[in-house]
Structure 1
């Protein structure tokens, strides 16, 4: 076995043994060819995955294409587009902000307030009334709301929504057809989050950037924009000289992170990344349930990008075949099914009213089926989501649940098992998002004690709460 194969196996071993790394899928491309790839059960390589802030990098590419086509200039003031009808009042300082300052997270903001305004109707109005306290172009502050303004600007400049513009000018030339893109309450495609792509399609975008804006011989984005977008335009002040960022780096381009050795990446919450390695002609992509990116990058740099891997090109031949036996063993620790205890509780649309809780869950309803149950959750804002379970096999279905910040339909796999006649555990693996949820329900007469766990979320918390039977 060649050096590269052994180092790939070492990489897999390291990431499997590191509890801060929980990969769903992984892909490594060199010289335009896939060296190896894998997905871990129950996740599938071809499924779309919510990419969170990778969306920001795609939005940046859209801005670059619009600039190349003459629709806008990066030095344009944002008010030219955001307040072109003089509808808004706005804070001091915002009149100096350019498109480039939004791209580099240096608009002068010090507080994004995204989750405070998430469900408000007019995000442009909210953005224009934030406090722009730093000198424009000098201070890095991560702002998803600022990234969303790039979507609004592109729509104002081109009269085409961001998702449609990206499809025609980026996705279609790259043969990317299976995607989803969330919208803000005021109808714009989200500029800073909300895009779902398969890992293979995300990797195509990395290959286009690696090739300086060209894909399959066609120019998609100007080389000038690619060079500027993937170079350090500003330093993340909070990250300076901190060893914990020795691989992920403290540089930032146009909605793109710059790491060690100048390798740059598209980076989304909870471990969704596309890393571009120009000097080795490599693109590496990963999707995760919950991964500490700095630790993942450490193993990528040390195991996959070390110089001894590239001494003999023959090592790149048929690597996937060598790895297949190992890859087949990769999976999440899925629940085991137990014999159903005698006298277990059955439900006929039993509804429990929950005590006040931070997740704003108002009621749960359980209804027994032939060999399982349906479980409905009702939030105080009247949002409902229903999940189905079996006691003897996993169920694959779809239902409404939180994506990044909004409830949307998505695929899941569910498991249920009785621990005792009055104690039930429910498990839900959302297959297109990183979320893994667990419920432990203990029933006593007309009460239920609920313990809820979710592996990661911006808005949903782990809670313990009591419920009282009302129906």
Structure 2
């Protein structure tokens, strides 16, 4: 897979003078609230512009799950689209890379690593023999800048093995390291492996006392390879507030509450232009540099943006955007394949609303914005709340199927449906609201949907998936539910079709809905008959 745009290209096939004051402290409150820290206009943010952005999102095909706009270290606007919520960590996909870069920065600052260190020197027992010229020249800085020299993204091949380090080092390196940009998530994994080999701790543990605790960040999960190394290039989950603080930390050049946690020189290095992304076949680089935020240059696991900004980002619309000239940070999570299109909405509507100084107070505009942010919600499934098919309780036997479900139970009350999936001695239960969201969690096989196209066959060990479920009757015989896994960008559509005394249960994950050709639904339709 040859790509400079990583996950999005797999799915899309297309289908992403400073106002900074040194030492400024970030003042996000300990608990995330649905209000701003100050009136937007007092922070130089136009409430009307934020409202226009929200309206543009509502009128678009883009699904946004959360938004925080900060200026001068304070929150001007924040909101979550229900059933997403402030306290829930989000799966960041490749935005994880920018946190890996931060860990490397701490290790370099502590004298544990050098950018010039050779990758093979950390793993003498896993390197091939003989070591080729290009592999021998591969250094930490090449991994940071995605300039390994491999002709293809190594990630799918590497993650099919048990020893990812050995697999990565065994792959051919066709070009001189440092000469060509190629987006390569396995390169970021190698940075994670190097930090762990050098420090003796996983990234998530290494960052806790040095970075996470000083910023008062909550506990975070980070997926691991089969050998217990954080995946580095993906797999970190963090709240939107964490992303906002992360961006503010970089905006403040590594300083937090008067302490220089990471040298300002490293922040400058990590976020500055290091290498140019090449154009695709038939594309004009000059035009791309005018229109594309994926051709503005790359730093140390950070993307340069138009408008002299930089960002970390992850598949499906996870963003931490830093705008140094405007002393602003925009944190955004969502679900879209058109990541450039979502960024365009930010530039077209939010950016014009950010100003260097305070604006004239407009309490009415701020109140309207606050009300709009508090009322944000994803659409509930459309249809009737009741049907003659609703029963107090029904139990079914399920035909043999690849999911292993043997029993099915259904129970309704005035505003919810309880569905039970029996597998062996275990029963997996989801309660779905009718006309409203109902929270729960599940470990039913196949949930939540996972983006495995990039990372081959390996899936990190799961924890119970938190979800909010809502449903409606599409007709008298068809109940359609949406299971929103609100710690990820993804959801399942689960459809119950009744015929006589039988019922069928069909699953359709949101990844398949977006790109069936590369991520088909593999779960079978469950066919159930009444238990006698």
- 2:7 corresponds in structure 1 to none
Distance in 2 (CA, whole Å) between partners of 1:18 and 1:42 is: 19
Are residues 1:75 and 2:116 paired? Answer: yes
The 5 Å alignment of 1:3-82 reads 4-19=46-61, 21-81=62-122
Residue 28 of structure 1 and its aligned partner are, at CA, apart by 0.9
TM-score by length of 1: 0.87
Between structures 1 and 2, the one with greater strand share:
1
How has the CA–CA distance of structure 1 residues 456 and 343 changed in structure 2, closer, same or farther, with 3 Å as cutoff? Answer: closer
Distance in 2 (CA, whole Å) between partners of 1:211 and 1:431 is: 31
How has the CA–CA distance of structure 1 residues 375 and 427 changed in structure 2, closer, same or farther, with 3 Å as cutoff? Answer: farther
Are residues 1:84 and 2:124 paired? Answer: yes
How has the CA–CA distance of structure 1 residues 337 and 64 changed in structure 2, closer, same or farther, with 3 Å as cutoff? Answer: same
The answer to whether the 8 A contact 2:403-2:523 is kept is: no
- 1:233 corresponds in structure 2 to 274
- 1:204 corresponds in structure 2 to 245
How has the CA–CA distance of structure 1 residues 301 and 99 changed in structure 2, closer, same or farther, with 3 Å as cutoff? Answer: same
How has the CA–CA distance of structure 1 residues 117 and 467 changed in structure 2, closer, same or farther, with 3 Å as cutoff? Answer: farther
The answer to whether the 8 A contact 1:4-1:315 is kept is: no
Distance in 2 (CA, whole Å) between partners of 1:301 and 1:420 is: 42
Are residues 1:410 and 2:457 paired? Answer: no
Residue 261 of structure 1 and its aligned partner are, at CA, apart by 2.9
- 1:396 corresponds in structure 2 to 439
Distance in 2 (CA, whole Å) between partners of 1:8 and 1:416 is: 31
Residue 335 of structure 1 and its aligned partner are, at CA, apart by 2.1
TM-score by length of 2: 0.78
Unaligned runs of 5+ in 2: 1-39, 452-458
2:520 to 457, 461, 464: 461
The answer to whether the 8 A contact 1:271-1:286 is kept is: yes
Residue 38 of structure 1 and its aligned partner are, at CA, apart by 1.1
How has the CA–CA distance of structure 1 residues 349 and 99 changed in structure 2, closer, same or farther, with 3 Å as cutoff? Answer: farther
- 1:341 corresponds in structure 2 to 387
Residue 74 of structure 1 and its aligned partner are, at CA, apart by 0.8
- 2:376 corresponds in structure 1 to 330
Higher mean C-alpha deviation, range 365-374 or range 51-60: 365-374
- 1:352 corresponds in structure 2 to 399
Residue 328 of structure 1 and its aligned partner are, at CA, apart by 2.9
Higher mean C-alpha deviation, range 240-249 or range 178-187: 240-249
Are residues 1:373 and 2:418 paired? Answer: yes
The 5 Å alignment of 1:6-405 reads 6-19=48-61, 21-81=62-122, 83-85=123-125, 89=129, 92=132, 93-118=134-159, 120-238=161-279, 240-243=285-288, 246-250=291-295, 251-290=297-336, 292-306=338-352, 309-310=354-355, 313-315=358-360, 320-336=366-382, 338-343=384-389, 347-354=394-401, 361=403, 363=405, 365-369=407-411, 371=413, 372-376=417-421, 387-391=430-434, 394-400=437-443, 401-402=447-448, 405=459
Partner of 1:313, secondary structure, is coil
The answer to whether the 8 A contact 1:441-1:449 is kept is: yes
Distance in 1 (CA, whole Å) between partners of 2:234 and 2:388 is: 48
Unaligned runs of 5+ in 1: 355-359
The answer to whether the 8 A contact 2:312-2:320 is kept is: yes
Q: CA RMSD in A?
A: 3.2
How has the CA–CA distance of structure 1 residues 375 and 104 changed in structure 2, closer, same or farther, with 3 Å as cutoff? Answer: farther
Partner of 1:374, secondary structure, is strand
Partner of 1:29, secondary structure, is strand
Are residues 1:426 and 2:484 paired? Answer: no
Deviation by residue 1:174-231 (Cα, 9 ceiling, x = unmatched): 1112322221111111211111111111111111111111112111211221111111
- Aligned pair count? 461
- 2:11 corresponds in structure 1 to none
Residue 141 of structure 1 and its aligned partner are, at CA, apart by 1.1
Deviation by residue 1:267-301 (Cα, 9 ceiling, x = unmatched): 01100000000111111110113363222222222
Higher mean C-alpha deviation, range 278-287 or range 43-52: 43-52
Distance in 1 (CA, whole Å) between partners of 2:472 and 2:129 is: 56
Distance in 2 (CA, whole Å) between partners of 1:432 and 1:390 is: 19
Distance in 2 (CA, whole Å) between partners of 1:302 and 1:370 is: 47
